[in-house]
Every structure is written in C-alpha cells, then in structure tokens.
C-alpha cells in the first residue's frame, strides 16, 4: 500500500528546507512519494529542490510540479491540484510546515489495511498540523476533493472531514504524538492570500481572540454544501508542468557556467577569399542559449533523448562547436562516467574562458578533451585516431549551415556506435525546404535512420521507439 504525501506551497521555501529532508529520512524504508506543488512561488524553490534532491527526483520518491497561474494562494484549490498527481493508494495532505513524524506512515497503513473507508485527521484541526488528513485516492475523488468555494484560509479541512463522514467514512483521530509542525505567526501564514491585510488585522497568533474575530469575519464558517453541489464546475484545474529532473539540471548547469554570451568572434570555416574585408573573415556568434525557456528551450528534448545514457560507463560524447566551452562543461557534469570530446575550428575562445569555467566548478571529473575541427573537411580518419571506440552521442552546434552540417554527419557516421543519438541544433524551421532537404539527404545515407524534428532541433538515431517525423 503506497502513500502519497501531497505538499502544496507558495513562497515557503524556508519551511521546506526545514521539513523535507527529515520527512524523507523518516520514511526511507517505506513505499511513499512526496508530491510537491510549486504554486507559483517566487523564492527559487525549484532550483533548491533540483540542487539538493537529484537522487530522490531520479527515483521519483520526490516529484515536483509547477503552476504559474495563481496570483494568490488558495488552500483548497492547491490541495486538489497536488492530490491529482499522487500515484499512491492513500493521499495524505501535508502542509509545508508539517512533519510526517516517525511511525505515522506505519500507523496510517495499518488502519487503511483494516478498513479503507476511513478518513484520518483531527477534529477540530490540530493547531500544530491542522492540514494533516489521510484518505484513499478513491474516496478523495468521490468527494471531488476539497471544496474550492473556500477561497481564503480556514474551514476547508473541517468541511472535508464532514463530507467524508456524510458518504459513510469513519473518522479516526490522529494521535497527538503524530502532530508536529513549525511554529510561525500569522504574518507568514496569511501573506500570500488575497485578503491577507484583513486576516492580519484580526491578530498575529492563532489564539482564542483571533478565532472569535475570524468567525465573525469569515463567510465560510457556515458553508456546508451538499456533496452534489461541491465543485460542480470541476476541481483541481489549472495548467501544471511536471518538472523533469534532467531538464531542470541542464537549465541550472547552463546558468552556472555563464548563460547567454553574445558577439563572440569566431573565424569563418572553409575557404575564405584573400580579398575578403577583415570584418567578413569572422562571424559574431552567441552561445549559452540552448536550455532555458527564454531562449531555445532545448532542455526538454535533450532530456528525452539522453537520459538513458546518464549513468552508463564509458560513454563517448562529442560536441562540435565549443565556442566558450559552457556546453562541454555541462556534458562533463552530466556524463560523469563518460568522456567528452569538444571540437571547434578555433579553440581560442574556449581557452580564454577555461579558467572562469573551472572557477565555477567545471571539469572536476577530468573527462573533457578538446580538438581542432574544420566542418568542411573529410574527418573520418581524424575522428578514428581521436576515439577508436566510437561515439554514443554527437551534438552539432557549429555552423548551422547545410553543407558543413552534412559533411560533419558523414565524418561521424562510420564512427558512431550502433545505438547512437546524433543531434543537430538550430536548423531554422522557417526554411522548411532546407530542413526537409537536410533530412532527406541524411536518410539517403541510411534508410533505417529515424529523424525527430522539433523547434529547430534534429535528432537522428536508430535506438528510440518514439514516433518520429518532421
């Protein structure tokens, strides 16, 4: 029997830092997952989770979801949104300032094994962990979640237990020993609600005086809708993004190693006429713009195709078009057990920036090698001398022109392993005929190749069963 601990939060990272690690440790031996909903927080909680819980994200013990829609915190709605993503048999709402507490999970499972038609909670809500309620997923859906008519703070938990009992569920009190939470004042409690100013005027602590005033102020005290009237127009609805751990890692690493750089001077490849003006013998390029959503947003596509290689030993990864080196710094971190080969016609920009990358933490795995490379030349034999074991992944982020791109593919093709991923970045889709021509010429090399194209990003491979097409 699996439990999903559902944690909705807005701008409460400081509480998550206190509770999440302990909650994971207290349940390490059990079949549980922590479903965390970033309810449009502005405190960089996603970055913190991905930096500190990569192992748990990879194993899906921790799952992170994100919505950017809400302007204010709505307790009932946020609980419903996060609960929909739980895969467990039992859903436990857990406020971000609450601890699971040691022994609670076992106690909870024991009761549900005896009788699934129960709801666990405290009535009235416990002051140290008022949102801690457990119910089977099946019964949560029967109730249509929390009543989203409770748009402000309070009473949604009481109403939820009331309705659970109305459909025949037995209410069982959670023992005092399983209630543990972080104390904080009402300023923190209410600051993200639409009516925060009015709520704070009622008092700064949840004492008797506050409750008396709150019952006079709140329109929700007597809200007791019949089940048929609750959430008639839907519940837990909003646009939610599932945060893939590798996608976020790629974005964070690109930021770590410098992010966007512009006007980087690089020499033209191929034959350059002697009478060319000096300024036409060079291109001015930009880099560090591949992963973030503000730029190309290739991170989700990369994560789809390279994740299976992450933990393999002796992986060989090549990147053509090193520029200032942020790309090979990223791959050196991602493929810790592999070797990264960086290729560029002119490596001066990389060597000028290498010390900065090292200061930022790059190349600690000592697995990055760089070589000069002219995309207009036949490099088949050259590549064999560099890596006789062939390449698993190749990324062409160099000229973005058809002729040198094809020439580079021809050079690598005999030097690729049977199960390979070959990526070509930045072939503009506004030139549809150009993209199709490139893909057709690649297919002419080997009709068994699959080609995936999205957002100026081409992937050539034989080893994936995705639906391929242009």
Q: What is the pLDDT of residues 328-357, one digit of tens each?
A: 999 999 999 999 999 999 899 999 999 999
Mean pLDDT in residue range 370-392:
95
What's the confidence (pLDDT) of residue 165? 95
Q: With cut-offs at 50, 70 and 90, classify the pLDDT of residue 468.
A: very low
Q: With cut-offs at 50, 70 and 90, classify the pLDDT of residue 89.
A: very high
- Has residue 304 got a pLDDT over 50? yes
What's the confidence (pLDDT) of residue 385? 95
- Highest-scoring range by mean pLDDT, 205-214, 246-255, 259-268, 277-286: 246-255
Q: With cut-offs at 50, 70 and 90, classify the pLDDT of residue 182.
A: confident
Count of other CB atoms within 10 angstroms of residue 254: 24
Distance, CA of 74 to CA of 78 (rounded, Å): 6
- Has residue 209 got a pLDDT over 90? no
Q: With cut-offs at 50, 70 and 90, classify the pLDDT of residue 372.
A: very high
What's the confidence (pLDDT) of residue 151? 81
What's the confidence (pLDDT) of residue 214? 80
- Has residue 243 got a pLDDT over 70? yes
Distance, CA of 379 to CA of 164 (rounded, Å): 70
- Residue 63's φ and ψ, nearest 5 degrees, are -125, 135
- Residue 82's φ and ψ, nearest 5 degrees, are -70, -35
Distance, CA of 140 to CA of 85 (rounded, Å): 12
In terms of Cα–Cα distance, which of 240, 222, 114, 128 is closest to 177? 128
Order of strands across the sheet that contains 457-461: 368-372, 339-344, 316-320, 391-396, 416-425, 457-461, 450-454
In terms of Cα–Cα distance, which of 84, 82, 64 is closest to 73? 82
What's the confidence (pLDDT) of residue 467? 46
- Selected residue with higher pLDDT from 119 and 298: 119
393: which 2 tokens? 């992944």
Contact of 123 with 174, CB cutoff 8 Å = no
What's the confidence (pLDDT) of residue 470? 39
What's the confidence (pLDDT) of residue 198? 86
Q: With cut-offs at 50, 70 and 90, classify the pLDDT of residue 281.
A: low
Biggest CA pair distance of the chain? 89
Locate all alpha helices (DSSP H) within 131-258, ordered by sequence. 137-142, 156-166, 186-190, 196-200, 208-217, 245-256
How does pLDDT run across 125-180, given as a tens digit for each residue?
Answer: 666 666 899 999 999 999 999 999 988 777 889 899 999 999 999 999 999 899 88
- Has residue 104 got a pLDDT over 60? yes
- pTM beyond cutoff 0.85: no
Tokens 């959503």 -> residue? 293
- Highest-scoring range by mean pLDDT, 198-207, 238-247, 440-449: 440-449
Q: Mean pLDDT in the chain? A: 88
Domains of the chain, CATH where assigned: 3-241 (3.90.550.10), 245-461 (3.40.50.150)
For 210-238, b where at least 16 C-beta lie within 10 A, e where not — what string? eeeebeebbebeeeeeeeeebbeeebbee
Share of the chain above pLDDT 70, in %: 89
Query: DSSP 3-state helix, strand, coil percentages of the chain (rounded to 5)?
Result: 35, 20, 45
Contact of 189 with 152, CB cutoff 8 Å = no
- Has residue 263 got a pLDDT over 80? no
Mean pLDDT in residue range 281-286:
65
- Has residue 274 got a pLDDT over 60? no
Contact of 101 with 180, CB cutoff 8 Å = yes
3-state secondary structure of 306: helix
3-state secondary structure of 25: helix
- Has residue 322 got a pLDDT over 60? yes
Count of other CB atoms within 10 angstroms of residue 306: 22
Distance, CA of 190 to CA of 198 (rounded, Å): 10
């Amino acid at each position: 029997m699996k439990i999903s601990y559902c944690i909705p939060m807005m701008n409460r990272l400081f509480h998550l830092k206190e509770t999440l690690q302990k909650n994971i440790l207290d349940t390490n031996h059990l079949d549980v997952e922590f479903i965390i909903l970033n309810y449009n927080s502005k405190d960089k909680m996603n970055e913190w989770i991905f930096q500190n819980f990569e192992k748990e994200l990879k194993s899906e013990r921790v799952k992170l979801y994100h919505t950017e829609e809400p302007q204010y915190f709505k307790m009932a709605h946020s609980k419903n949104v996060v609960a929909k993503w739980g895969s467990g048999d039992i859903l436990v709402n857990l406020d971000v300032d609450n601890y699971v507490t040691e022994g609670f999970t076992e106690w909870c499972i024991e009761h549900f094994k005896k009788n699934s038609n129960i709801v666990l909670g405290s009535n009235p809500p416990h002051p140290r962990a008022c949102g801690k309620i457990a119910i089977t997923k099946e019964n949560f859906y029967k109730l249509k979640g929390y009543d989203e008519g409770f748009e402000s703070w309070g009473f949604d938990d009481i109403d939820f237990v009331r309705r659970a009992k109305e459909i025949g569920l037995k209410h069982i009190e959670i023992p005092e020993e399983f209630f543990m939470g972080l104390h904080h004042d009402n300023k923190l409690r209410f600051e993200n609600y639409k009516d925060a100013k009015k709520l704070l005027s009622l008092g700064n602590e949840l004492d008797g005086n506050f409750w008396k005033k709150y019952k006079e102020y709140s329109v929700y005290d007597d809200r007791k809708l019949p089940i048929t009237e609750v959430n008639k127009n839907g519940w837990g609805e909003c646009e939610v993004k599932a945060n893939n751990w590798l996608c976020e890692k790629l974005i964070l690493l690109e930021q770590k190693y410098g992010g966007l750089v512009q006007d980087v001077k690089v020499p033209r490849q191929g034959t350059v006429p002697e009478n060319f003006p000096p300024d036409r013998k060079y291109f001015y390029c930009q880099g560090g713009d591949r992963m973030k959503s503000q730029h190309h947003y290739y991170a989700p596509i990369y994560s789809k195709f390279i994740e299976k290689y992450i933990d393999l030993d002796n992986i060989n990864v090549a990147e053509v078009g090193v520029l200032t080196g942020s790309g090979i710094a990223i791959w050196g971190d991602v493929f810790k057990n592999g070797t990264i080969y960086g290729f560029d016609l002119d490596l001066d920009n990389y060597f000028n920036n290498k010390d900065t990358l090292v200061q930022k933490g790059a190349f600690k795995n000592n697995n990055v090698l760089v070589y000069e490379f002219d995309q207009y030349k036949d490099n088949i034999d050259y590549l064999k001398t560099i890596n006789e074991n062939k390449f698993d992944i190749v990324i062409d982020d160099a000229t973005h022109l058809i002729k040198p791109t094809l020439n580079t593919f021809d050079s690598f093709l005999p030097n690729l392993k049977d199960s390979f991923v070959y990526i070509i970045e930045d072939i503009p889709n506004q030139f549809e005929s150009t993209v199709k021509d490139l893909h057709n010429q690649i297919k002419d090399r080997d009709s068994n190749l699959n080609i995936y194209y999205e957002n100026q990003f081409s992937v050539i491979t034989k080893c994936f069963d995705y639906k391929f097409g242009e």
